[in-house]
Amino acid sequence: MRSNKPYVQLDPAAIEQARQMDLLSYLQRYEPGNLKRVAGNVYCTKEHDSLKISNGKWYWWSRGFGGISALDYLIKVKEYGFVEAVQVIAGVAVGWTPPPPIIPRDEPKVLLLPPKNETSNNVIKYLSGRGIDYELIQECIADGTIFESADRYHNEIII
């Protein structure tokens, strides 16, 4: 039986690139809005919360199958044909262009700390009660790595 689809010659390098790309890298690059962190290095997609991505593999728990590459995902989950999936990963699919990469800002991040309390009595009492050596507590207070916040809660701040 003949198909009405035209014959497409794929570059072997594009096929290899598609086979090598893992799903997490694909989603971070081409569908960042569809990616959701579950815990640690475990992710899922916003479309399918039972599809878990971890350690370079993915598994769709509600359907009972998984894979390794982004190519597997596009074929099994998105139901693309092989040629179309390779073209999407290679960024040459008709009518589809990958979104521009997110460029991180070079602005330095500033750690905003609460104001320090005049004394550190609550911190000393708390940490001593937890069995931490008094001299160690005093050293940390002296070099500023531990202090007590001046707000109403008097939290222990460890930098």
Per the rule left: phi > 0, alpha: psi between -120 and 50, beta: everything else, 55 is left
Domain 12-90: which CATH class?
alpha beta
Write the pLDDT tens digit of every residue in 75-116.
998 888 888 888 888 875 444 455 566 677 778 888 888 899
pLDDT at 3: 54
pLDDT at 94: 41
Distances in Å between the Cα of 136 and the Cα atoms of 81, 123, 128, 132 are: 63, 12, 10, 7
Bridge-based pairing state of the strands 42-45 and 146-148: unpaired
Q: Crossing angle, helix 12-20 and helix 82-90, to 10 degrees? A: 80
Write the pLDDT tens digit of every residue in 45-84.
888 888 999 888 899 998 898 898 888 999 998 888 888 8
Write the pLDDT tens digit of every residue in 128-139.
999 999 999 999
Show me where the domains of the chain are located: 12-90, 121-158
Q: What confidence category does residue 117 fall into, taking pLDDT thresholds of 50, 70 and 90?
A: very high
Is this prediction's pTM over 0.85? Answer: no
pLDDT at 130: 93
